[in-house]
A and B are shown apart, each in its own frame.
Chain A
Amino acid sequence: MTVTTSVDEGAAGELLVILRHGPHSGIALKEGLDAALVAAAFGRRVSLLFMGSGVAALMPGQGKGPLDQKGTLPTLDMLEMYDIDRCYADSASLEALDMSADALVIDVTAVDSGGVAQLMACHSLVMTF
């Protein structure tokens, strides 16, 4: 897995949405993604950063919950349609869950601590969910 330590100028955007909750664990992840989708639909340049348990949203093989709850995988599939193509994941969180950025449900760039700090700096607005 390639880990990016430095985020280039092209990463700059208006809104960075940090997703720190896993799928099927309450609705925090979905509500964070909804905020990102609405911002993108309103024409804002949005980046996503999966961090902590949030990286579990990127795990392949997710299904519906026992009450038929959809989870967030269908939403991730829609990101491209909303032109959200700058997605990042915290490399330490990926490693903690034995995940590799090469085998996830969407394309993400793995970033280390320095990269995370740069993402914070190059977005004018940061929202954590």
Chain B
Amino acid sequence: MRYAILLLGAPYSSQAAHSALRFAQAVIARGHRLEAVFFYADGVHNAASLATPPQDEPQIVDGWVDLQRDHDVRLEVCIAAALRRGIIDAAEAARHGKDGHSLAPPFTLTGLGQLIDLGVDCDRLITFGA
């Protein structure tokens, strides 16, 4: 089956990101195709390139990056939700006159239409809320 995940919670603030990452790994382990994880609402904080959790805590951002690298899972971040929360890529930073950017590279900023397409096109869309 083709799966997509919608993640609404920031890492560490809630368990949603941990649950979503565990579920994502299990979906792949059972032989399904995980098309994408869509990060919306506070979920956009999962894409923070500057997040520096202590070494002995789960590295959630790295976990998403591994999924993308090893299983070609798209990491799509809602642009409106991200910009309002300070998650911004180089192009948007230049456009808005900001001197830094904060989106980890394999994550991409995209529109909400992408979430709707995932929901319609995939066999299952599983939401992890916070």
Contact = CB atoms under 8 A, between A and B. Distances in A.
Say if the two chains contact directly (CB < 8 Å).
yes
A48 to B, nearest CB: 15
Interface string A25-37: 0011001001100
Given A34-B112, A42-B113, A125 B119 contact: yes
A95 interface: no
Contacts of A51: none
B80, B116, B119, B127: residue with the most chain A Cβ atoms closer than 10 Å: B116
A42 B112 CA distance: 10
A31 B41 contact: yes
Given A27-B41, A28-B41, A127-B6, A35 B116 contact: yes
B40 interface: yes
A8 interface: no
- Looking at chain B's contact residues, is the secondary structure mostly helix, strand, loop, or mixed? helix
Contacts of B113: 38, 41-42
B116 A44 contact: yes
A21 B111 CA distance: 22
A14 interface: yes
- Looking at chain A's contact residues, is the secondary structure mostly helix, strand, loop, or mixed? mixed
Contact of A15 (B8, B41, B116, B129): B116
B120 A125 contact: yes
Interface residues of A, number: 17
A76 interface: no
Contacts of B80: 34
Interface string B95-122: 0000000000000000111011101100
Interface of A: 14-15, 27-28, 31, 34-35, 38-39, 41-42, 44, 124-125, 127-129
21 contacts: A15-B116, A15-B120, A27-B41, A27-B84, A31-B40, A31-B41, A31-B81, A34-B112, A35-B115, A38-B113, A38-B115, A38-B116, A42-B113, A44-B116, A124-B120, A125-B119, A125-B120, A128-B127, A128-B129, A129-B8, A129-B41
Interface of B: 6, 8, 40-41, 80-81, 84, 111-113, 115-117, 119-120, 125, 127, 129
